[in-house]
Structure 1
């Protein structure tokens, strides 16, 4: 089915929790295309080997902005980011409430310090660390996150949450490699890899270009994350920086200071992330994405690196078919180094 069919767009608009502005649509970035290819490859392979198996459970999902720019474009293309869409107007009475992952357990930080104080103290420690971001022409980043596939069949939408592990190697000239592994529960991991020549890939900021000077860094981040979007945009900017490239200690320290200046920032507490690593969590509450959401970043207290990012609906699900509070997305940062090889 063509992703450009207007009837599909009209149907999906009814369940999009964020009003759609046609002027904001952009082409899906390369990471989203790689994710989509990996998911669809995994689905085709599994459906071929289990053609007579039970039907997939029906879940409802919404768009995660870190994966793609346009919510309607993502759904009609067949892939969404981690999150949940509420019951559609055409859904049958047997539609199950969407399952969401358990919230992490946060513990109070002894001493009663606030978030800005903790972050600035950590930044001072991190700035003294030796460089640890590796050497080589390729910026290599590995993350694990939610994604899902969605099939639109007539007036029925069938979706399934699928964890992804994504690895990227990107050189200054835009060449490199993207590898996406679908980690479907109960199935063998399936990996899709794409290789790009010069100019085939791009990053929001050139590799190694982010500054360790706080004022310069704030200007760099602000070009793609305008202050007019509200304080939560600062947390999005930090996550995007870690998604883009390895960061040396001086830049990590500057990012911590940048985050410390965020109005309304909360000290969420000590926590173990989704893969069991200890960290310090800070959060901000915002409805800038369309629903009241708590955005949380978790940092390693030795290296100052971002290790986990979480989004949780706090007081209202809107049209989303989830139980409040509900974790609607997370991204785990597993590794980041410059390297001379794409493997």
Structure 2
């Protein structure tokens, strides 16, 4: 394994108050010390996750022409639909004046991945870009159901975090997330020569933090996800795949809400560390699939320090900001 903690979530939905509190405290401890945690025995059935990966593989197996029938809209404002390799550039940069030179510099190294982003059909500010039904029948039906199943699981985790932080209301954080501003992302990393990544001619996904409240990630068995070691900044440890576990990580907004009590940790996707992840003389990497689910509050929600996370000796470190404004600073640098 790695230095990333594992939390058994099975007791959270029990009637045992002390067991629920133990789960909450373990979750917050991991979120405070590492910012990442494996969650096992959660609410999402193995069969549902297996089906989600099956649909993802079927989507990315479509021809490029068919995938382009649901393209990511131009610009950064709408984050939906199919993004082809090179369209998106993940970074930690936030927008400011005279960004053109910074953007050009960031894009010197291409992120070699493709993705498909889905949200709530009721979010008119982020309209979904569905592929035609006849190309992949029942894809839309399943992904819509999966989106809301993930929101249910994420809401339970947010309740546990609220209890673990010490908030009086278990629903405090959930009330600020209607579910309509979340993002379900299907990710595919095509095979690429290992040398291309080692020479940094291309990347899979550079080090970054997530700009949501919280992320739930599901990954296949390929490997490649790495998390910055909080005890050794700049050093990354592998997030070894654990089948059907949720890898939960704290996002920037939850770090701001908690006044840095919870940690939004840098992470990246690079070369798998095991030799059996490569094939042939050119050491081609295996293709990799992952499915992150980003939980975000509604755009007008004000992110300001939680009452349990500040006192006279520990004043609020951040000015209040809406989700919409924070999202704008990050997204405008990415597309």
TM-score normalized with structure 2 length? 0.23
Q: Which structure carries more helix by proportion? A: 2
Q: Which structure carries more strand by proportion? A: 1
